[in-house]
């Protein structure tokens, strides 16, 4: 049996798979949310934060340390309000410390 495997781009694979298309859209949405709040986060903390998964009206931020998470936790109400003012339905932002 002679099989030929052809490389495909992520865009091609996601276009052919509804599941991958949904994951791609969620990843893009999460990154867009992080860009929208970036200026509200102190510059020294920005490198410690990554966009995480979206689950309904809850969004997760991945944080590199407990100290950074404690500082970000103080900003959560302002971050949520800013996202809602820009059209995102975010009722909760969770923080997950990456170990």
Q: Domain limits of the chain?
A: 30-97
**CA dist 28 → 2, 49, 67 (Å):** 38, 16, 27
Q: Cα separation of 21 and 70, whole Å? A: 34
Residue 13 has pLDDT above 80, yes or no: no
Residue 97: its pLDDT value, please? 97
Q: Cα separation of 38 and 46, whole Å? A: 7
The pLDDT tens digits of the residues spanning 27-48 come to 999 999 999 999 999 999 999 9
Report, as an integer, the average pLDDT of 57-76.
Answer: 97
Superfamily of domain 30-97: Fe-S cluster assembly (FSCA) (3.30.300.130)
Q: What percent of the chain has pLDDT over 90?
A: 73
The pLDDT tens digits of the residues spanning 43-66 come to 999 999 999 999 999 999 999 999
Residue 99 DSSP one-character state: -
Report, as an integer, the average pLDDT of 60-85.
Answer: 97
pTM, rounded to two decimals: 0.81
């Amino acid at each position: 049996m002679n099989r030929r495997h052809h490389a495909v781009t992520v865009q091609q694979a996601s276009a052919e798979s509804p599941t991958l298309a949904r994951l791609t859209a969620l990843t893009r949405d999460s990154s867009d949310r992080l860009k929208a709040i970036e200026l509200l986060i102190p510059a020294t903390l920005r490198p410690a934060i990554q966009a995480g998964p979206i689950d309904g009206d809850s969004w997760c931020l991945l944080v590199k340390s407990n100290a950074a998470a404690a500082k970000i936790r103080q900003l959560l109400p302002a971050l949520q309000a800013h996202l809602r003012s820009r059209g995102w339905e975010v009722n909760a932002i969770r923080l997950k410390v990456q170990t």
